[in-house]
Structures are given as structure tokens and as C-alpha cells.
Amino acid sequence: MVTVLAVRHATSTCLPALKTPNSTRRDGSGRTPWPTLSGTSGVSTIFTSQFARTKQTVEPSARELGLLPRLAPPSSTLARDARAGLFGEVVLVAGHSNTIPTLLAVLGATSVPVIGEREFDNLFVLTTHSGDGAPTAPEVRGPGVAKREA
């Protein structure tokens, strides 16, 4: 199995808090804008877009995990290679309101979120099978994702 952790980048107002441990949001909420993933998360590969906000969003996790973020290939390539297990069992992808839903769809998600222009730093978790070639219908967990009827 492969798990993809997909996040839309943090807002520009949250990014200073990402750079300074134990800081708070500029809005005074005190909530960490994006949690730092530890070694127990199992993340072995981190992808970002070419834009600074995605890189800044994952920078604390990359530092904690000792990983160097990579530029994400096209969604179809990333999905194919992730399913094949080429990036390890857990992959973190920081993207944008248009790229995260596309990636989840290409990975075969049964319900894909619509990420609004003012929605930032929501985490979507998709787990799929790798290597056996069997088609899967992975589910996405996260804000704005419709639950499948039982």
C-alpha cells in the first residue's frame, strides 16, 4: 500500500509561523498552520511545485525528516510511480487548489475535493495499493470530501 498525504500550500500569513518553532499565526489563533511530520510518519519522499509557498509549507517537515523536497512531476507520472512504490510507502505532496484535486483524481480517488481559493493547508490522505496491477478505488479523507454511502 502507498499513502499520499496531499496538502494545499499554507497562506502567506501562516508562512512566517512555519519558519519559527512554537510561533503562532498572525491571526492570534495560536494554532500551528501546518504540523511538522516526524520520523514516525513514515514519509520517505516530499514533492512540491516550483512555487515558494509549497516549498515553505513542507520545509519544517523536510528538515525534521532529513529529506530534500523534490519538484513534482506531472500528476500522471507522480501517480503511476507512487502506485509502483518508487517513492516509498508514504509520500507528502504540497500543491495548489487546482493540482491537489487533479493528483487525487489521477490516483483513482472516488471523491475529489473542491478546494476554494481561500482554503489553505487542509490535509488530504489517500491510500492505494501498489505493485499488484489490480484496479483500486482509494478513498480520500479530508475537508470537503463527500463520504461514500455504505
Share of the chain above pLDDT 70, in %: 67
Q: Which domains does the chain have, with CATH numbers?
A: 2-17+33-141 (3.40.50.1240)
Q: Is the pLDDT of residue 18 over 60?
A: no
Q: How far apart are CA 43 and CA 60, in angstroms?
A: 13
> pTM of the prediction?
0.78
pLDDT at position 25, please? 41
Tens-digit pLDDT profile for residues 61-120:
899 899 999 999 999 999 999 989 999 999 999 999 999 999 999 998 888 888 888 887
- The DSSP 8-state label assigned to residue 91 in this structure reads E
Sign of the Cα pseudo-torsion (62, 96, 50, 131, in order): positive
